[in-house]
Structure 1
Amino acid sequence: MIGRNDMLKRMTTHLLAGAMLLAATGAASAETLKVWSRQTDESALILKTLTDAFTAKTGIQVESYNTGTDFEQRLARAAAARDLPDVVINDDAALGQMLKMGIIEEVDPTKIEGNDQIVPAAWNSAKGANGKVYSVPISAQAFALFVRKDWREKLGLPQPKTWDDLHKLAEAFTKNDPDGNGKADTFGMSVPASTVRGYASWYMSNFIWAAGGNFVKQEKGGFKPDLESKPVADALGFMRSLFCEGLVQPGAINATTGDALPTFRSGQTGIFLSGPYHIAVLDEQPGKDKIEVLPPPAGPGGVAALAEGTSAYIMTGTKARTAAEKFIAYLISPEGQEIGMGEGTGHTPLVRLPINKTVDVDAVRKDPRWGTFKEVFDKSGHYVPPVPNWTPIRMLTAEGFNKILASCNSDIPAELKSIDQEMAAELRKQKALAE
C-alpha cells in the first residue's frame, strides 16, 4: 500500500513535470521569428500563406515585413540601430552588398534540412567571392521573350530564333501597323534602359552573354574587367540600333521595368524580355490568347539569359538561429516550394521556378510557358559573376551602357574601355577591403 506521504510526493512530482512541460510548450509557441522580404504586396500575400503554414507546423510565430521600394535603406537603418530581423528574403544579387554591410552570417548548408534537394546551379548564387556560402536559394528564374502572338501571326512572321529575326520583328511591329488601327502608334521592343538600380546593366547582360562576352574574367588573384571586347561591342551595337531606328518605346532610355511593363500591357509594344513573374499580369492584359513565351533568340555566342533568384539570409546577431534554419528548411521543402509558387491564387509568386529538384514545375503550374522558362534556366542561364560586391559594378556599368544607348554616334569600343577603367578601380577597392 502506498503511504499518504509517498502519494503526495508523486503528485507533486507529476505536477512539477506537467508545469515544466507546459512552460516549455508555451515558450516554443511564443517564439517569434522576424522575417523581412523585398517583395511586392502581391508576393507578400503568398509569403503570408507560407508563414502561416510554417507556424501551424512548428508553433514558431513569424512577424513579417515587406517593401519593394526602399528595402535597402530600411535595412541600413535597422543595422545602424542594431535592430535587424532574423531572416531576410532578398534578391541573390544583393549578397555582396549585404556582406559588405556586415549584416549577414555565413551559412552551413548541412545545418539546413533538405539542402541536398536544391539544384546544384542555384547554389552558385549563394556564394561570396571567397567561396563561402552566405545564403540559401529559395527561388530561381531566367529571362524569356513575351511576344504579341496575334501581331506576329497577322504580319506573317516567324518566331524569332536569331538577333536578326528579332530586329526584323521589332521593325515590323513598329512600321507595319500590327494592331490594324491605321495609326503609327506601336513599337517593337519594350526596353528598361534606366540607370536606376542598374536596370541598363541588368537588361544588357542577356545580350552580352548571348554575344559571347563577359563583364569580368577571373584570374589568379581576383577579377579583371572584360567589357572591352568585340562580343560586348556587338551586343551594345545591336541594342543601340533598335534605339536609333526608333524600334523601342518612347522614353526607353530612362525606363525601369515598372515603366516598360505598361507599354507592353497596353499594346504600345509587342516584345518584352522579362521573367516568369509577369505571366499572371500579362494574361490579364493584353490577354493570354494574345501572347506567347519564347526562348531568347541566339546571339553570336548562342542562347543566353540572365539567371536570377531569391535567397534567404540569416542576419547578424540573431538570437533565433535554430528557428531561422527551420524556417529556411521549410521554404526549400517541397511543401514550402509549392505554397510559394502560389499556383491558382492569381497572385505574383514568391517562388518562380522551384529550386527543389523533387518539385515538378509542369505538374504544379500546368502551364507549358513556365516550362519554357525552366528550360532556359537549365540550359542557358547565367548568374552574375561572383565578385565581392556586384551592386557597384552593376551601377557603374548601367551608367556606361545607358550613355552608349543614348548616343547614336559614340565610339562603342572607346566607351567600353572607359567603363573597364572604372570597373578596374572598383575591383581594386573591393579586393583591398576583402584583404
Structure 2
Amino acid sequence: MRRHSKVALMAGAALMAMSTQALSAETIKVWSRQTDESVSVLKALTAAFTAETGIEVETYNTGTDFEQRLARAAAGRDLPDVVVNDDSAMGQMLRMGIIEDIDPSTIKGNEDVSPAAWNSAKASDGKFYSVPVSAQAFAFFVRKDWREKLGLPQPKTWDDLHKLAVAFTKDDPDGNGKADTFGMTIPASTVRGYTSWFMSNFIWAAGGDFVQQSATGFKPDLNTKAGAEALGFVRSLFCEGLTQPGAINATTGDALPTFRSGQTGIFLSGPYHIAQIDEQPGKDKIEVLPPPAGPGGPAALAEGTSAYIMKGTEHREAATKFIEFFISPKGQEIGMAQGSGHTPLVRLPVNKNIDVNAVRQDPRWQTFKEVFDNHSHYVPPVPNWTPIRMLTAEGFNKILSNCDADIAAELKAVDDSMADELRKQKALATATQ
C-alpha cells in the first residue's frame, strides 16, 4: 500500500507539473494600435501580466496601417486574440465581423469601471463588444510664456481664443523680430477623418451635434445654426491666416511638430502629448487650459481605448484574464506610465478607484480629467462611425478650404450624404438580425 501510495503521489505531482507547464506555455496574441513611443508601456503591462498569471503575450503594434493589417489578418484567418484599439473603431470591426460580444457582468472588476466608459463600449444594438481600458478628453496646450509676454488673459470664450490666435500671429510673441509665428495648430486633413475629429469639439461647443437619435434611428443634424457657427468660427482662423502653413492638409503627426518647434502657440490635443511637449518647447513654457466656451458652452471630444476579444480565438479565458488585469488598479497604473517619460497607454484611468492626482502628481492631468468629467462628448452611437467620420471630414475640409463657400449649402450636402450612409447602415443591420 505504501508503495502504491508513493507511486500515486508521484503520478499526481507529475500531472500537476504538466498542468502548470501547460498553463505557463499558453500564449495569447495582443495587437495594439499605437506608435512606438508607447510600445514600451505595453511591454511593461504584458510582462507584469505574465509574471502574475504565467500566460505569455506576443505583442504587435503600429500607429499607421492598423486597420489594413487587421483586414488582412481576418482574410487569412489569422487574427490575434485581443485587439487594443480606439473605441470609435467598434462599428468598423463589427462590420468586418471580427469581434465577439462581451457580457460586462462576467468581467472581473467590471463594477470598478466608470459608467461613462462602459457606455462607449456599447453598440447601437445595445450589446457590449469591448471593455474600456483608457479614457481621455481634449484640452488646449497654450504657450504660457507668449501669452504672458503679450499681457493677455487665459481664453474663456471663442472670442478670447480668436484674439489670442491673432496676437500670437501678428505681435511677435517669441520676440525674434520676424513674422514667423501663428496662433492655432489645426490638423485639418481628411486622412483618417482628422477634420471631423477636430471640428467635433467646436460643433458641440456651439450647441450642435452630428445626428439626432429617435426611436426609429438616427437623423443628420449638421445643417443648423450651431453647425454653421462652428464651421464659420474655425474657417475664420484659416481665412485670416491664423493657422500654421499647410494646416488644411495636416494630420496630427504633421501638426504636433509645428507646436513643439515654436511655430504655433495653441494646440488642441489629448494628454498623451504631455511628455513630448514637456521635452520641447518645455514644461515651463506651456499651460493646459479647458476648452473656451462657444455659444453652447464649453465642450470637448471624449475618446477612449478599448480591448476587443476577436472571433475565433482559442484562448478566450486567457484573453479575458489579460483584459481583467488591464482594468485592475495595478494594470491601469502600469499603463499610465507615470515617471517613465514614455507616452502612456492609459491616459485617464477607467478604474474609479484610482486617484489621478495621486498617481500623476501633475495638475495638468487633473485639468484633462475635469474636462472629461464635466464637458466631454463621445461620438454618436451610430452603427458604424468610421464612414460618418470620413464623409463629414471631406465636407468640413471643403468648407474650411474655401473662404467663399456657402456654409449652409455645404452642410446640407453633408447631411444628405450622411442620410444615405445611415440608411445603408440601418438596412445592413436589419438584414443581419
Task: Say yes or no: TM over 0.5.
Answer: yes
- Equivalent in the alignment of 1:216: 211
Partner of 1:126 in structure 2? 121
Does the aligned pair in 2 maintain the 1:340–1:350 contact within 8 Å? yes
Matched, 1:96 2:96: no
Q: Under a length normalisation based on structure 2, what TM-score does the superposition of the two structures give?
A: 0.99
User: Which of 172, 194, 205 is equivalent to 1:199?
Assistant: 194
| Corresponding residue number in structure 2 for 1:41 | 36
2:54 is matched with which residue: 52, 56, 59?
59
Aligned to 1:391: 386
- For the pair 1:377 / 2:367, whether they are aligned, the reply is no
CA distance, structure 1, for counterparts of residue 289 and residue 84 of structure 2: 29
Q: CA deviation at 1:199?
A: 0.2
Q: How far apart are residue 18 of structure 1 and its match?
A: 1.0
Which secondary structure does the structure 2 equivalent of 1:351 belong to? coil
C-alpha deviation, 1:137, in angstroms: 0.4
Q: Does 1:15 align with 2:15?
A: no
1:144 aligns with 2:139: yes
The 5 A counterparts of 1:17-416 are 17-416=12-411
Cα distance in 1, alignment partners of residues 37 and 414 from structure 2: 37
Amino acid corresponding to residue 391 of structure 2 in structure 1: L
Of residues 394, 399, 422, the one that matches 1:427 is 422
Give, in whole Å, the separation in 2 of the partners of 1:216 and 1:276: 27
Contact 1:124 1:383 in 2 (8 A): no
CA distance in 1, matches of 2:197, 2:142: 20
Q: CA RMSD in A?
A: 0.5
TM superposition shift of 1:10: 1.1
Per-residue displacement from partner, 1:228-256 (whole Å, max 9, x unpaired)? Answer: 10001000000000000000001000000
The CA distance in 2 between the partners of 1:34 and 1:111, in whole Å, is 21
CA contact (8 A) 1:34 1:87 kept: yes
**5+ long unaligned stretches in structure 2:** none
- Give the Cα–Cα distance (whole angstroms) in 2 for the partners of residues 89 and 129 of structure 1: 20
CA offset at residue 15 of structure 1? 1.6
TM-score where L is the length of structure 1:
0.98
Which has the greater radius of gyration? 1
Q: Distance in 2 between the 1:9 and 1:145 partners?
A: 74
> How far 1:8 moved relative to its partner?
2.3
Query: Displaced runs of 4+ in structure 1, greater than 2 A?
Result: none
In structure 2, the partner of 1:3 is none
Q: Is the 8 A contact 1:111 1:325 kept in 2?
A: no
Q: CA deviation at 1:110?
A: 1.3
Structure 1 unaligned blocks of 5 or more: 1-5
Aligned residues: 430
| DSSP-derived class of the 1:126 partner | coil
**Offset of residue 103 of structure 1:** 0.3
